[in-house]
A = this chain, B = another copy of it.
Amino acid sequence: MASKWARRLDMVAGRVDMTHGSGGKAMAQLVDELFIAALDNPLLARKNDNAVFELPAGRVVMTTDAYVVSPLFFPGGDIGSLAVHGTINDVAMAGARPLHLSAAFILEEGFPLADLRRIVESMAKASRDAGVGVVTGDTKVVEKGKGDGVFITTTGVGIVPPPVVSPSGDRARPGDVVIVSGTMGDHGVAILSSREGLAFETSIKSDSAALHRLVARMVEVVPDIHVLRDPTRGGLSATLNEIAQQSGVGMVISEESIPVRDEVTAACELLGLDPLHLANEGKLIAITDHRHADKLLATMRSDPLGREAAIIGHVAEDPNRFVQIKTTFGGTRILDWLVGEALPRIC
């Protein structure tokens, strides 16, 4: 069928202009020829300003994240796949099965349509691979110099299958075991390695991945995991400290048990950074009753995304809510929670 538009969008040399966000024909064409075509979802294709779908009765999870990662493309992913994975993971961290995503784009005038297509297609692939569709969206354009290429906000909804008790950051209890699903700091180093002015040789790729299938296997084996959290911005240190604050407990972590790739350690030594402060985008922390720990660990290790899972410590009573780390040399230090992060715009 011939396009209903006079000319197709120039996806090779074309650029985003203000009309693409103004609710007129130009925006409708961009939505048709790029977003609806790539994301290929019957709910999206209805072109209402909303998506309507059926859910079974029960517990629903909703989560949202704005993605402003810089650069937009990095080893192992881009802002499109990251925006799908990150929000799926935030839904999964409630022990839930992610069902649908929405996506809102804020585009900067002048952004190449070819880059936008690459991002949207990457988003579509991540969404297909995860089996979680983008069902509704929005596109806005801001003047050149009032944005930075592309920002994407994705929101996810999912359902918590019974009889799962929702994991929550306030449910860590003294005696619980702390498990991580794999190596720390990969995403942070991948972003750093691709920044202009900071380029250095490394083979590290972002760990960006959707963790919902791993979580589904975990909650099947241990329905009452106390805490599930993905250590993104601020890394392991911020996430453990947040959980300690929320639950009113301390933690004792063994440094040598934390999986870190040699290349990440090397890059961090070069740059004066701590891998425990760097963001991860395909890892989770699980805190569980010690009686379930071995079973949970074995289940995690049997999944491709949890192959390097490890028990890294335990929850302790501590009115100060300190996260203590036993160093490789036998000492103990407080694993601090930074005021900011080593790296802005990591996700």
Contacts and interface: CB of A to CB of B under 8 A. Distances in A.
Residue in A54, A91, A102, A246 whose Cβ sees the most chain B Cβ within 10 Å:
A102
A345 B169 contact: no
Interface residues on A, range: 35 or more
A90 B49 contact: yes
A106 interface: yes
Interface in A1-57: 17-19, 21-28, 46-57
A155 B340 contact: no
A145 B106 CA distance: 15
Nearest to A167: B48
Number of copies: 2
Interface in A47-79: 47-68
Contacts of A226: none
B55 A58 contact: yes
A142 interface: yes
B338 A46 contact: no
Interface in A142-174: 142-143, 145-148, 151, 153, 155, 157, 160, 166, 168-170
Residue in A17, A26, A151, A346 whose Cβ sees the most chain B Cβ within 10 Å:
A151
A59 B49 contact: no
A114 interface: no
Contacts of A345: 21, 140, 142-143
Contacts of A106: 66, 68, 106, 151, 153
B64 A138 contact: yes
B102 A344 contact: no
A54 B62 contact: no
Interface SS, A side: mixed
Contacts of A137: 64
Contacts of A55: 55, 57-58, 60
Interface stretch (A231-239, A252-260, A295-303): A231-239
Interface in A290-347: 337-341, 343-346
Contacts of A343: 22
Residue in A136, A148, A340 whose Cβ sees the most chain B Cβ within 10 Å:
A340
A100 interface: yes
B142 A145 contact: no
A91 B128 CA distance: 26
B49 A229 contact: yes
A111 interface: no
Contacts of A100: 62
B170 A22 contact: no
17 contacts: A19-B339, A22-B233, A23-B238, A23-B341, A24-B337, A26-B340, A27-B340, A47-B242, A48-B94, A48-B229, A50-B63, A52-B61, A52-B94, A60-B157, A64-B136, A147-B148, A153-B153
Given A24-B238, A143-B344, 15 more contacts: A21-B68, A22-B344, A23-B234, A28-B245, A47-B246, A48-B93, A49-B229, A52-B96, A52-B168, A62-B135, A64-B103, A65-B138, A66-B138, A68-B106, A143-B345
